[in-house]
Each structure stands twice: as C-alpha cells, then as structure tokens.
Amino acid sequence: MYSSGRPTPMKIFSRRHLPANRDPRTFDGPLLDEYVIDLSIASLEKADVTALYERLVLDPRLGAPERHELTEAFLLLRAGTTTESLELPLLP
C-alpha cells in the first residue's frame, strides 16, 4: 500500500520524451508563426518589411531551418509590395 494513504502519480512518459529535455534556445513554433504574421501585416500596409525582417531573423531562438522559412516568407511578401528583383538577403 501507500505510506501516506494517497496514490502516487503514474508515469506515462519516459524521461526522454519530456519537453524539458530539449534545448530551450531552439525553435518555438508559435514564435515563427508570430514573426510571419508580423511581416504579413506590415506588407498589407504596403510598408517595406526589410527592416522588420532584418530584426526578426537575428533572434537567437530561431534555428537555421526557421531562419530559412522566415526568409522565404519575407521574399514572397516583398515580391507583392515591390517591383525590385528578388535577391536573397544575407543570413547571419
């Protein structure tokens, strides 16, 4: 039986499946979503989103795949607001 009279919690997940084991500096899906939405809203206002993109892409919480996805979103949004030729911005 239980020494305190209360049941102990059942462990469903092993330690390796817990989110605490991932690197806290890595990609957070909602963060990338928020950044793409910010870029989209700025482009709807016909604003130049380059400065915003340059600030967002430097976020250390984004990994290389997320920076690449953010760059793709930036290029697509910029294509709709300018007539300049599309050039890939330099990534850090």
- The residue that leads in pLDDT, 10 or 59, is 59
pLDDT range class, residue 78, cuts 50, 70, 90: confident
Model pLDDT for residues 36-47, shown as the tens digit of each residue = 888 888 888 777
Output 3-12 pairs: Cβ under 8 A, ≥24 positions apart: none
pLDDT at site 85: 47
Model pLDDT for residues 16-35, shown as the tens digit of each residue = 443 444 455 554 578 888 88
Query: How far is it, in rounded angstroms, from Cα 38 to Cα 49?
Result: 9
Query: How far is it, in rounded angstroms, from Cα 80 to Cα 61?
Result: 28
pLDDT (mean) for 66-91: 72
